[in-house]
Amino acid sequence: MRLDSTRVLVTGGAGFIGSALCERLLGDGHRVVCADNFSTGRQANIAHLLTEPGFQLLTQDVVEPFDVPGPLDQIFHLASPASPVDYQRLPLETLRTGSAGTDNVLALARAKNARFLLASTSEVYGDPLEHPQPETYLGNVNTVGPRSVYDEAKRYAEAVTFAYHRAYGTDVAIARIFNTFGPRMRLNDGRVVPNFIAQALDGRPFSINGTGKQTRSLCYVDDMVDALVLLMRSPHRGPVNLGSTDEMAVLDIAGLIADQTGNPLRFTYAPLGQDDPERRRPDTRLAQRLLGWSPATGIPEGIAATISWFRTDLGSSR
Ligand code: NAD
């Protein structure tokens, strides 16, 4: 592949979505710098990229001010613990990454005159009182609840992103990412899909929090990467919701994984986590209109690809 002159920084590039994004940008012929502190990411996610001529790894905590020598045209800012298990284990790191970290990466974007894209989250809506959630919905976040370190870090990150744009004219965009799944999630990261796949591959019952009737809308990672690239290449600032509108009950997600793995459909029940949202579905009309994007991969197809990846990753023959 011939490399073009576009040089892109991906913070959090060793994580689940970040590593898929690095792969995609390299495939498009760009030069890619991945900055990561490996707090929740894995070397294994990017090991296959280290020999690519266009790929550079920078082991860096974005909470510390840093420079990337040379030009940068685009910055995708994904660095942040993202799963509830991670951000509850790393509460202060999560707040600092969203605040000081985002500020530092914006300062770099300003210095390099690069377009900056923030990976924000549906969690800025908290436990939403409006369904589905349009970008104009201002959210229902418990500022002192167990999820607040993540939700408020991302709300601050959105605020500082727009402040850089208003104060310095920095070219920015905000993607509000909804539940995304696929290969390279960690089996123990606490999110519903890897949780159920881990249980299914071990032949254990599926663990349900609450009634299991709460819904999630699951977007396959390749579709999410397409959306992030489209938003980066567009002139739009957003915030733009990115995700699937296919709302599925948690019980039905377990059913799908049971069918595909042959694990019998048995459940254990635990209480719903505090502030765990009951319903989660984006209004994605803006993404469709501005970017011409909607997810192309069906949930069963995405789940099948994810199970197959976990089987290989675990070296499992089950
Ligand atoms: P992930 O945990 O797999 O990846 C995050 C990456 O950021 C990891 O590689 C981690 O080591 C790195 N990181 C964390 N703090 C850092 C710091 N201070 N300095 C440098 N690197 C740091 O999570 P993911 O699911 O790939 O999420 C990527 C981004 O997308 C996150 O910003 C997350 O908030 C956002 N997002 C993800 C989802 C989802 O469903 N996966 C949903 C909404 C938003």
- Cα 146 to the center of its chain, rounded Å: 19
Residue 12 alpha carbon to ligand 1 centre in Å:
6
Domain boundaries, the chain: 7-182+219-243+281-296
Residue 15 alpha carbon to ligand 1 centre in Å:
6
Instruction: Quote the CA–CA distance of 92 and 311 in Å, as a whole number.
Output: 34
Instruction: Quote the CA–CA distance of 154 and 54 in Å, as a whole number.
Output: 30
Residue 102 alpha carbon to ligand 1 centre in Å:
12
Least confident piece of the model among 18-32, 58-72, 103-117, 203-217: 203-217
In eight-state DSSP terms, residue 49 is: G
- Cα 287 to the center of its chain, rounded Å: 16
275 contacts 128 by C-beta, under 8 angstroms:
no
DSSP H or E segment with residue 22: helix 16-27
Question: Is it the case that residue 316 has pLDDT exceeding 50?
Answer: no
pLDDT for 61 equals 98
Reported as a single tens digit per residue, the pLDDT across 97-148 is 999 999 999 999 999 999 999 999 999 999 889 989 999 999 999 999 989 9
Least confident piece of the model among 183-192, 250-259, 276-285: 276-285
Place domain 7-182+219-243+281-296 in its CATH homologous superfamily. Answer: NAD(P)-binding Rossmann-like Domain (3.40.50.720)
Distances (CA, A) of 278 to 135, 140, 146, 216: 19, 13, 16, 9
pLDDT for 76 equals 99
What's the mean per-residue pLDDT of the chain?
A: 94
32 contacts 10 by C-beta, under 8 angstroms:
yes
Reported as a single tens digit per residue, the pLDDT across 168-195 is 999 999 999 999 999 999 988 888 999 9
pLDDT for 315 equals 60
Of 78, 10, 79, 14, which is closest to residue 46 (Cα–Cα)?
14
Of 53, 44, 59, which is closest to residue 12 (Cα–Cα)?
59
pLDDT for 318 equals 41
Rg (CA), the chain: 19
Of 309, 219, 203, which is closest to residue 266 (Cα–Cα)?
203
Ligand 1: residue whose CA is nearest its atom 6? 12
Neighbours of 233 (CB within 10 A): 12
Q: Which residues are catalytic?
A: 150
Ligand 1 pocket test target in 80, 149, 240 with most atoms within 8 Å of CB: 80
In eight-state DSSP terms, residue 98 is: I
- Classify residue 102 as left (phi > 0), alpha (psi -120 to 50) or beta: alpha
